[in-house]
Amino acid sequence: MARIAYVDCSPMMAATLARLHAHEGMRVFEGDPDPAQLRATIAQAGVVLNGHTAMDAALLEAHPRLRSIVFLGTGASSYVDVEAAARLGIRVRTIRGYGDRSVAEHAFALLLAAARGIARMDRGLRAGAWTQAEGIELGGRTLGLLGLGGVGSEMARIASGFGMRVVGWSRSGMPAGLPVEAMALDDVLAEADAVSLHLALCPETRGLLDAARIARMKRGAILVNTARGALVDEAAMLAALASGQLGHAALDVFSVEPLPATHPLLARDDVTLAAHSGWKSADAARRLMEAALRLAIADAAALDAGHALAP
């Protein structure tokens, strides 16, 4: 029987596996494996579940039994040499949609925190200062969405239900039935009191929000990013915060992660920071693991039946 191995199981995902009674027959390495531990974990595996572990061409070439990698998310190419996998006949699976609602709720929570200065007041109170932040009401304000896939669509519904006007731009067209006014990118930036990013990172979107586009935003607007740090020119964002062009940045993602302790964002009061945790809810973890197990079990069964897997 084709063995299934999970190479980097976090405590949260281990608890999810336990609730799903899914450990049986699977080799599970809890934590982040070093190179020797990784090789040992996948030595006999036909199918691998991978959350965030680098798998380069040399590793793939050294494990001829491996026929399928189920990546726990959408960004497999950031960790797995997908070209080498295709060359070696290894299928690479990805999972979409499992965290759409969780990420959207996280993005809206960041927006609320930015609008009311929650993080700044929290820091002040812990330091012994009673400082009352002046906030803004979001009801009746305009939220601009860049990207209207699964997460962006959920964000649109949340914001509309909250009483906001929602305008948006999408590279792939506007989904039907959303409470969103479709606009050109520059018009979204000009109209919005807050802009939230929900785009995939690719060559066309890297640095999309550069100095010129930030300058088109309303002065004092809020920027929310729970997508990818590299969508934004970080230096331009910092300059815009310093000048007041941006009123606040609420960020869950960064160009370098973990965020270095000396990063200038950490010294600013006009930013709210989270540790790339938008998807991390028990509900999203369950949906993710259920989908991953379905794919892994299906591929293992196909291998046991002697079927080749299309890369």
State the catalytic residues.
Answer: 228, 257, 276
Q: Which one, of 24, 23, 28, 31, lies nearest residue 45 by Cα?
A: 28
Q: Name residue 221's beta-bridge partners.
A: 246
Peptide bond into 258 cis (omega under 30): yes
Rounded-to-integer distance, Cα 270 and Cα 264, Å: 12
Rounded-to-integer distance, Cα 115 and Cα 190, Å: 18
Burial 263-291 (b: 16+ CB within 10 A, else e): bebeebebbbbbebebbbbeebbbbbbeb
Amino acid at 58: A
Write the CB contacts of 76 (distance below 8 Å, at least 6 apart in sequence): 50, 69, 82, 92, 94
Cα distance between the two ends of the chain = 20
What are the two backbone dihedrals, phi and then psi, of residue 148, each rounded to the nearest 5 degrees? -130, 45
What six digits make up the tokens of 141?
């304000």
Report DSSP state, residue 209: B
Q: Which residue has the tokens 């929290």?
A: 122
Count the helix, strand and coil residues of the chain and give each as a percent rounded to the nearest 5.
40, 20, 40
Q: Which residue has the tokens 């009674």?
A: 21
Rounded-to-integer distance, Cα 205 and Cα 105, Å: 23
Amino acid at 104: A
